Structures are given as structure tokens and as C-alpha cells.
Amino acid sequence: MKIHRIGTITAVLGVSALLLSGCGLFGPEKKATSIDAPPPQSEAAQNTPNGLPAAEGSADGTEAAVTESVDRTVYLLDANGYVVPFTLTLPKTEGVAKQVLTYMVKGGPVENMLPNGFSAVLPEGTEVKGLVIKDGLATVDFSPEFKKYDSKNEKQILDAVTRALTEFPNVKRVQIWVNGTPLTEMPVGSTPISSALDRNLGINLELAEGAVPGRTTAVTVYFQGQLDDKRSYFVPVTRLIPETQNVAKAAVEELIKGPSDNSPLFSSLLRTTRVLDVKQENDLVTVDLSSDILRYDSGREANPDALESLVLSLTESTGAKQVQLLVEGKPLTSGTYDFTKPVARPVHINTMQF
């Protein structure tokens, strides 16, 4: 299957703005039990209006202590040029959105935390001079150093900034300023950005074989990259496919098809896996797969990475809050994961120590 990564910056955003609008790539904030079962304090941090951990009162009415660090999602570049979310444990601070962007700057505090082969995405020396969030719009004002990048990295920078800020539940759109002036186009490759950016622009964009620009449907699926001999990480890829009304089914099918030819990525779902049924009812997607999904660990269970990639891909592509997985029509139980009930999207992605 031939799939092409779109390389022309202006074409990418022009096509994506036309084709991806209304696709629901940014789902609602997840309140159901998550697949990764975060600790209660992490959940509280995600659900407070400003993204900060909420202080809780003790039984005697005194204020409980707040931890000195918190998990945050930053976006980095892997060795193959893919924009990838990683969860880092950062010092507790009030300006969390500004902090996240600061940890995406080359030569900044993230350098000592980078996984092998990864790099920061924002130009060296870039500072966040201001950041205001109002009515779902995050307006970020960068210093002039933001303009010092190679044109080939322009789409990656837009993807990373947009994704990092829209990780916060009170941010749906992003506007970029430089030195107090709003940008109408990017400074190097002249990508037009007069309107606010959102997740409908996709990430790591690909055009599938047979897909015609202007007549496509977008699905964002989570493939994997190899970090070392024992660890892998999830990589979101927005693939433009021929038009379809069943986005949920298409997302699963593209995940099974796997990455594009010559891609360094891989999928943990076997290509022999058959999609028996996929349906979405309001905020719940139910997917029924053949028993090939269980061909892991000598056939005793499903690959945990395959299950997580399914949940990530379905919630991202459809906007659903929960996913119910079935195997041959029966609820799936696999290892430590209990899929007898619907599960929600992981609160944190690619959480690991380096």
C-alpha cells in the first residue's frame, strides 16, 4: 500500500483545513476510567480549570500538601522527523501552558530529559513572552528567536505548538504572535495562519493511495516507533483516506493496514485481524474484532500496545469518550486490562523514564 507523507507546507495546511474540518479529531475531556488508571491526584490536575493540581482539605480543615511535580505532555521530534507526544514529570508551577512550551525549546531545560534520538522542536533561544487563554483560544506570544528555523520544520512546529496547548481542556484553538504582533503567515515558509489553529489540521499528515485531495476523510491512528530494545512509543499519524461515513471503522482498518511503505513505524495489530463490526452511539464506540487480536504471548492474550493503540486511535478520530472492545462478539479480558466495561482514553501518553 503506497501512502505518501505530504511535504509541501502550504499544501498541507491548505488541504488539511479543507478536508479535516468537522472531523472531530479533538474529543471531549475524558471523565471515565482511563485505560492507564492514573493516580487520583493526576486526575484532579487534569480536571481543574487551569490544569493545576487541586489542593484538598484534610479532615481537620487544614489544607493538604500539594506535590512538587506534575506530569505534563510535551511534543518532541523523533529521529525520523515525526512529532510525538511524551509525558514528562515537570516542576509544579502556576504557568503550566507556558512551562510546557518552554520544555519544547532546543537548548532549553528539556535537553537533559530527552529520549535517545529525540530533539526539541522550537528554535533555540525561543522564549514565551506571554500566553493568554480566553474562551477556548490560547494566544501565545513568542520572542523573535521563534523565526529562526528551517522551512522543512514549519509544519512540525505548527503541529507541536497546536497539539501541546490543546492538551489542556480549556484550550480548543491556538493563535501565534511574535514579539507582540499576531502572525498571518509563518515567517519562513509563509504558511498562512491568519485563522486560529486547531487539531483539525492533523499531525504527521499522510495521503493514502487512491485518496483525492478535496474528497477525503481524515483518521488519526497511533502507530509505534522503537525507542530501544525493550521499549516503544506511540506516534499519531493523520491519514487522509477516500471519503467514508464510518470514521470509526476506517480508523481501525487503517491501524490494521499499518504504516506506509518504507516507514520506520509499526503497528501491534496483526494484518490478519478482521473487523467484524464497529459502531458509534453518542460517546461510545464499540469495536468487534476477530480472535487474531489474541495472538500474543503464545495466544493467551492481546498485545497491550495493540489495545492501547485502538483506544487512542478511536477516541482521537471520532471524538468518542469511551471504547468497548469485543472479540468474536464477547467482551475482551486481557492480562491486567479489563475491557468487560468501556474504557476511556489514557490521560498520559508515552510515559516512561529516561
pLDDT digits (tens, 9 = 90+) for 252-262: 999 999 999 88
At residue 240 the predicted structure's pLDDT band, cuts being 50, 70 and 90, is very high
Note the pLDDT of residue 195: 82
Confidence of residue 115 (pLDDT cuts 50, 70, 90): confident
DSSP 19-49: HHTTS--SPPPP-SPBTT---HHHHHHHHST
36: pLDDT strictly greater than 80: no
pLDDT exceeds cutoff 70 at 339? yes
- Which three cell numbers mark 2? 503506497
**Containing H/E element for 240?**
strand 232-242
Residues 161, 162, 165: CA angle, nearest 5 degrees? 80
Among 120, 108, 116, 125, smallest CA distance to 83 is for 120
pLDDT digits (tens, 9 = 90+) for 48-60: 333 333 333 334 4
Q: Which pLDDT score is estimated for 354?
A: 62
Give the pLDDT score at 4.
54
Distance of CA 27 to the CA centre of its chain: 11
Predicted confidence (pLDDT) per residue in 302-316, tens digit = 788 999 999 999 999
Q: What is the pLDDT of residues 121-141, one digit of tens each?
A: 999 999 999 999 999 999 999
Q: How far apart are the first and last CA of the chain?
A: 35
Confidence of residue 15 (pLDDT cuts 50, 70, 90): very low
pLDDT at 71: 95
Domain boundaries, the chain: 30-50+66-201, 206-344
Amino acid 60: pLDDT: 42
Q: Mean of the pLDDT values across residues 156-178?
A: 97
The continuous run of DSSP H or E covering 100 comes out as helix 96-102
What does the pLDDT look like over 243-302, one tens digit per residue? 999 999 999 999 999 999 889 999 999 999 999 999 999 999 999 999 988 876 555 567
The answer to whether residue 217 scores a pLDDT higher than 60 is yes
